[in-house]
Amino acid sequence: MLQSTYNYRLQGRDDRVLAENIRAYCLAAKRQDRTLTFAEIAKRAGINPSSLSRILAGSGAAEQSLLGIAQAIGINPGRFLARVGNIEKYPNIQPIRARTSTRRRYTPKIARSIDDLIDNPELTSDFFGGAPNAILPWLLKSLNQIRQTCDSYSQRY
């Protein structure tokens, strides 16, 4: 008997993440084409509108459904699998990973703000809601990283 390594414990979480990804891309397609509806996306994908509704509610999706939806809205189906942990259910889809961070570049202003937090333990406690002693090492490490990043940017530009 072939033993699958798919982790069914995480299936619910993965299905919800998948649903969020599909919903985001469908909404983006709807913004580009104002006449597009979810029913039209389902029709183009070759699935029932109620199936699309279940997929968007986090009930999971068959690989063919994902391929159809991706083709209907004109994107690579691998985008749906970004942040989905167990992708073994979709062996024919190569995932495209999402950007892991949307943070802005570090700036000297951010470094000064961290300096203020380090210099004022009461402010640190209020800001983080915890004991300043536990947070201080992390702040110092972050400040050093920010300063190194700022220095490397200033040398480049």
CATH annotation of 8-81: 1.10.260.40
What is the average pLDDT value for the chain, to the nearest integer? 77
How far is the C-alpha of 71 from the C-alpha of 44, rounded, in Å? 8
1 pLDDT band, cuts 50/70/90, is very low
- Tens of pLDDT along 11-41? 677 888 889 989 999 999 999 999 999 999 9
> Exposed/middle/buried for 138, CB within 10 Å: 0-12, 13-18, 19+?
exposed
Nearest to 95 by CA among 81, 74, 83: 81
Cα 55 to the chain's mean position, in Å? 18
DSSP-derived secondary structure for 3-48 = PP---GGGHHHHHHHHHHHHHHHHHHHHHHSTT--HHHHHHHHTS-
Cβ(90)–Cβ(11) below 8 Å? no
Question: How large is the average pLDDT for residues 48-62?
Answer: 91
Helix (H, G, I), strand (E, B) or coil at 116: helix
List Cα–Cα distances, 133 to 2, 61, 90, 121, 145, in angstroms: 52, 47, 47, 8, 20
